[in-house]
Amino acid sequence: MGLETEQKLTIAIVILNWNGKKLLEQFLPSVIQHSKQAEVYVADNASTDASLLFIKETYPTVKIIKNNENGGYAKGYNDALSAVEADIFCLLNNDVEVTKDWLPPIVKAFTEDKNTAIIQPKLLDFNKRDTFEYAGAAGGFIDKFGYPYCRGRIFNSIETDLGQYNDKADIFWASGACLFIRSKVFKELNGFDESFFAHMEEIDLCWRAKNLNYTVKYVGESTIYHVGGATLSNLNPKKTYLNFRNSLFTLTKNAKGNLLFLIVVRLLLDGVAGAKFLMELKPKHTLAILKAHLSFYGHLKQLIRQRNLTTFRRKYYTKTSIIADYFIFQNKEFRT
């Protein structure tokens, strides 16, 4: 496709913000500088700092969407995107530095394949710039039991960027740190599941898109740098709670196969993780896993109802157990 065709796709970059004035001061300039072909929005989740005043005074061309509450990532974007008109939505964290010419490879990929619904660029670590970033690296996958991993990052083993993922590839999920999605697909999926609040809602969204036979891609020609953990650190038990709970939500809603078997095995593996946290003298994280399971049981009827409305059209995993692959067979780098 030529440049003329590519330019027909309109892009809205929507940055979700909650009390992130300092992050906006640091990272919004790169977005403004390198995104001339897109409209830039800041969707504010009822911040109490001076975020909105800063944007109005410093970047008057940036459009502001005021959400009425801090509904987290899922509701925040659902509310904000209902007010945005564009062919492609780019959901961008407020702790991301973008680079020159980061958008054209994304637009080209959407233009070349009409079935491509979601795209992720290469995510590198802002503070260690030759290293992939934990949140999405070079595109995400999950194993049979719903544990996520990435090309370039498996658990806490993170690869150096040596050009090994400078490709374009089909992936299973795209990171919410920077997720491009066709607006019509976002609406077809009814957006994010707001019960997630935050964390792993992008995996659920991508899984639902895959179940509708859409394609999710990684485009390595486009690079961004992500701080990661700027809103909620990996050391925070609340993040552990949300990750374990929402992973169970996602698996129950979307996984093809014997659900009882999947959930029983998954709960046992989560128990092992809880024991590991105890041995590492992190009892708050063990408690977070227990709370995640209790919340999962409380939502089970709702999740089953959602599952009953799902058409399972695709095998969702290439590895049976990333835990076995990593901890038993000591495979610390991505392998297909």
201-224: per-residue pLDDT in tens?
A: 999 999 999 999 999 999 999 999
At 230 the pLDDT is: 55
8-state DSSP, 327? I
Greatest pairwise CA separation for the chain in angstroms: 59
Averaged over successive runs of 10 residues, the pLDDT of the chain (336 residues) comes to 60 97 98 98 97 97 97 96 97 98 98 98 97 97 97 96 98 98 98 94 97 97 89 79 97 96 97 96 96 97 96 90 94 90
Topology at the third CATH level for domain 3-226: Spore Coat Polysaccharide Biosynthesis Protein SpsA; Chain A (3.90.550)
- The ranges of the chain annotated as CATH 3.90.550.10 are 3-226
At 133 the pLDDT is: 97
Output b/e per residue, 69-84; b: 16+ Cβ within 10 A. Answer: eebbbbbbbbbbbeeb
Is residue 150 within 8 A of residue 140, CB to CB? The reply is yes
Is residue 210 within 8 A of residue 142, CB to CB? The reply is no
- Number of other residues whose CB lies within 10 A of the CB of residue 7: 12
Pairing of strands 178-182, 116-125: antiparallel
> For 130, what's the count of Cα atoms within 13 Å in the CB-facing half-sphere?
2
At 228 the pLDDT is: 85
At 5-23, the pLDDT tens digits run 445 899 999 999 999 999 9
Q: The whole model's pTM is what?
A: 0.94
